[in-house]
Amino acid sequence: MAAKQVTERGLVMIDLASALLCCLSLPALLSSAEKLESSLTILKEVNLRGPYLGLITVYPPEEDAFFDTGAFKPHQKHPYVDLSGRRFRVGKMGKKKVIYVRCGVGMVNAAAATQQMLDMFDVIGVVHFGIAGSINNSMSIGDVTIPKQFAQKPNATVPAGDFTELDFGAYSEPSGGYNQLGSIGYSTEQFFSKWGKPNTAQRKLWFHVSKNWLELAHTHLEGMVLEQCVNSSSCLTQRPKLVVGLSGATADIFLDNAAYGEFLYKTFHVSSVDMESVAVVMTSLSNGFPVIVIRGLSDQAGAQEGQNPIDLFGPLAASNAAKAVVQFVKAL
């Protein structure tokens, strides 16, 4: 054991020397180490006051909408902990203790931030929120959706593992013509869980949010009043609504194509599309934590006439989602 420890320490010293020679000056390295030590000291104190509810959103307009509700009150002594380039904010919403972070766009950022929150903080579960595109004609811009389940799409694979297939030739002009892009196959996902056998993945298409939290949202949030106007001159034609229990899809693409949206709706019966939700849900479930997703609809994913309206109605959708989050936390 002693020899192993010496060997490991020797490797660490070699890695440290490499970092010094190749990447960092000694003052920079010491500064980085001091910042990490400071963050870990604060983290220890923060966790002693837990547990917390975890809140995760994606990018600045969603964060602004959340803070504009005035519901989040930062902790006076330790308002935040900085870890790996992200600022985890510590505070309260009413009587509920919360940890909030903005994860960044895309599934890798969402999964990394979620895992770090679950590993480093004493949390009881995760509420993920933000904006999304609508591919369901019964849902409108400004509406809020709280889906019961999410799928990751697209997930290309060889035909033998296909769940379904998108044939690009079917969309060629003239109709049914040849297309060099061929086709994309959609497969199930590999899901690793703390409840499963190590290194043995389950194959899953759908990842469900926590049933009791979904029922809580259905009871306390459906029928809540949402904002209809961005400002005095830009209003929606009808009052937005909140719907619980539909399905959503996530991919690392910003969907702005009506034909592809229609394909997803008809094939997978999903109503909303975004770039992070399934990563947050999968990571939370993999670690055994409850999770729910609340998304405001900012656009029609390419089905609109003219320019995508996300720049105009994105803030309204983010605001309605944030209002729903506040109500959910109160109910919880």
Q: pLDDT for 287-301, tens place per residue?
A: 999 999 999 999 998
Please name which of 109, 61, 63 lies closest in space to residue 89, comparing C-alpha atoms.
Answer: 63
pTM (2 d.p.): 0.85
Mean pLDDT in residue range 164-180: 72
Q: Which amino acid is at 239?
A: R
For the chain, what is the total number of helices (H) and then of strands (E)? Answer: 8, 19
pLDDT on residue 8? 43
Amino acid, res. 194:
K
Of 110 and 24, more confident: 110
On the CB side of 101, CA atoms within 13 Å amount to: 30
State the pLDDT at residue 14.
43
**pLDDT for 165 beyond 60:** yes
pLDDT over threshold 80, residue 136 = yes
- The pLDDT of residue 166 is 76
Lowest mean pLDDT among 170-174, 183-187, 292-296, 328-332: 170-174
Least confident interval from 8-22, 140-154, 178-192, 318-332: 8-22
pLDDT band of 71, cuts 50, 70, 90? very high
pLDDT of 76 strictly over 50: yes
